[in-house]
């Protein structure tokens, strides 16, 4: 936990709820028939008026229609939004002009039903690639969702699910000298309606009053330590979207001096949601935190952490409970991060396995015992003497991952 603490004292506590825990938001998830199963497949999140909003999106060169439209709307609105409309069951990616027109129709229907401008609507989709989204179904879904909006947002977390094991939501109460505000969010990821791509979607609301530029800065900072620090299989979807809206309804105003408090609140929610995605990763049985220290700088540390987190040999060793420090050393060595074997340290669950070129094989069986836990900590000091550090999270690689992703889609 690397939250900076401002001079103003504050405290954070988890509370019940998710996307509507912050005042000034309503939400609903409804079934619009996009999923053949009849499960909830449209989620709508609405503020009482256009409010400051920020988004971060997939870096894949292939971007789904809703990603393109949401990006454009945030630019034209100067970082404001009143609604987020999401469908699961169809990614609307690689669907050409027709797919783009469907996304525009979705936005138009949402804006019309709420009486706001289309550029104040953000939009996201998740599901199978290369299939057209039914315009009739999504437009009808928008209308049902508007009718179902409530301060109890429990269905919203379900409407964005694909094969997630369960809904993911989290909320916190942030007490500051200037008053109390709330941050809440929902997420989906690492499961798929059909085995195409593991889209990551997350939406976060707060009732703090935050200028758009500060909200975007905080969202990017927090993303680097949470959603961008997790991996299930190193894949990057065409639809990944994270958006935050700030209603201001709490009356607590965030400025430069209280910015660290906003970051702390956002990070508490984002970290919990991000780790829930990893824990629910396809075939995952364990959550693994990879802590890197002794790197030249934080970027190098994250490079090593991500290489280890994506290594199939490390992920299978963790799955099998094998305290295989050689794989951690080898992954560090090929990561591109500066690595000095002679001064490196490897620990699994606080058990020392390698230090200064020397294996500690007598500790292997104790480390193997730690690897039976569902939450595992791995620590590698890269031995450069630098102060760079980073943490990444991953899950183990199981035969179940292969089964889920190897089944024929049709």
Q: Which residues are catalytic?
A: 199
Contacting range for a copy of itself; rule: CB under 8 A; set: 70-78, 112-120, 161-169, 315-323: 315-323
Indicate which single residue of 13, 38, 362, 406 sits in contact with a copy of itself (rule: CB under 8 A): 406
- In angstroms, what is the minimal distance from the CB of 405 to a copy of itself? 4
Q: Is 321 in the site for a copy of itself (CB under 8 A)?
A: yes
Q: Does 386 bind a copy of itself (CB under 8 A)?
A: no
Nearer to a copy of itself, 199 or 250 (CB): 199
Q: Which of positions 203-262 make contact with a copy of itself (CB under 8 A)? A: 233-238
385 touching a copy of itself, by CB under 8 A: no
Between 180 and 404, CB nearer to a copy of itself: 404
Please say whether the beta carbons of 409 and 194 come within 8 A: yes
Q: Are strands 168-176 and 351-355 parallel, antiparallel or unpaired?
A: unpaired
Residue 360 CB, shortest distance to a copy of itself, in Å, is 10
In the complex, minimum distance from the CB of residue 170 to a copy of itself, in angstroms, rounded to a whole number: 28
Q: Which of 213, 365, 369, 374 binds a copy of itself (CB under 8 A)?
A: 365
- Quick one: which of 87, 332, 391, 394 contacts a copy of itself (CB under 8 A)? 332
100 is a contact residue toward a copy of itself (CB under 8 A): no
Interface residue with a copy of itself, options 118, 195, 224, 386 (CB under 8 A):
195
Piece of the chain touching a copy of itself by CB under 8 A; list 13-21, 43-51, 136-144, 324-332: 324-332
Decide if 314 contacts 308 (C-beta within 8 A): yes
With binding defined as CB under 8 A, does residue 1 bind a copy of itself? no
Identify the residue among 333, 343, 363, 370 touching a copy of itself (CB under 8 A): 333
Is the CB of 254 or the CB of 302 nearer to a copy of itself? 302
Q: What angle do CA 257, 261, 262 make, to 5 degrees?
A: 100
Q: Which one of 78, 96, 166, 385 is in contact with a copy of itself (CB under 8 A)?
A: 96
Which residues contact a copy of itself by CB under 8 A?
59-62, 93-94, 96, 128-130, 195-198, 233-238, 311-313, 316-317, 319-322, 324-327, 329-334, 338-339, 341, 354, 357-359, 361, 364-365, 368, 397-399, 401-403, 405-410
């Amino acid at each position: 936990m690397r939250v900076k603490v401002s001079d103003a004292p504050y405290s954070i506590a988890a509370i019940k709820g998710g996307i509507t825990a912050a005042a000034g938001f309503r939400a609903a998830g409804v079934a619009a028939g996009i999923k053949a199963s009849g499960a909830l497949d449209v989620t709508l999140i609405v503020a009482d008026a256009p409010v400051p909003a920020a988004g971060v999106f997939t870096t894949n060169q292939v971007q789904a229609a809703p990603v393109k439209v949401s990006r454009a709307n945030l630019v034209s609105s100067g970082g404001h939004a009143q609604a987020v409309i999401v469908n699961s069951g169809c990614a609307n990616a690689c669907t050409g002009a027709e797919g783009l027109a469907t996304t525009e129709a979705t936005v138009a229907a949402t804006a019309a039903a709420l009486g706001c401008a289309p550029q104040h609507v953000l939009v996201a989709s998740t599901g199978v690639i290369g299939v057209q989204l039914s315009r009739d179904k999504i437009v009808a879904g928008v209308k049902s969702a508007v009718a179902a909006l409530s301060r109890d947002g429990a269905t919203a977390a379900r409407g964005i699910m694909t094969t997630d094991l369960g809904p993911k939501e989290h909320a916190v109460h942030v007490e500051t000298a200037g008053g109390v505000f709330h941050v809440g969010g929902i997420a989906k990821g690492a499961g798929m309606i059909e085995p195409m791509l593991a889209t990551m979607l997350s939406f976060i609301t707060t009732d703090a009053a935050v200028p758009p530029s500060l909200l975007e800065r905080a969202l990017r900072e927090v993303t680097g330590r949470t959603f961008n620090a997790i991996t299930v299989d190193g894949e990057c979807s065409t639809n990944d979207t994270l958006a935050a809206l700030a209603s201001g309804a709490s009356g607590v105003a965030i400025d430069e001096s209280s910015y660290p408090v906003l970051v702390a609140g956002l990070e508490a929610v984002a970290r919990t949601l991000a780790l829930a995605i990893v824990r629910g990763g396809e075939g995952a049985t364990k959550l693994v935190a990879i802590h890197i220290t002794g790197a030249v700088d934080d970027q190098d540390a994250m490079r090593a952490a991500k290489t280890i987190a994506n290594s199939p040999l490390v992920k299978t060793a963790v799955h099998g409970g094998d305290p295989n420090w050689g794989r951690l050393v080898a992954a560090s060595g090929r990561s591109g991060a500066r690595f000095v074997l002679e001064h490196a340290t490897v620990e699994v669950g606080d058990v020392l396995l390698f230090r200064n070129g020397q294996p500690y094989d007598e500790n292997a069986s104790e480390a193997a015992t730690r690897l039976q836990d569902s939450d595992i900590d791995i620590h590698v000091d890269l031995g450069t003497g630098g102060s760079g550090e980073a943490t990444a999270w991953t899950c183990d690689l199981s035969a179940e991952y292969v089964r889920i992703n190897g089944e024929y889609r049709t």
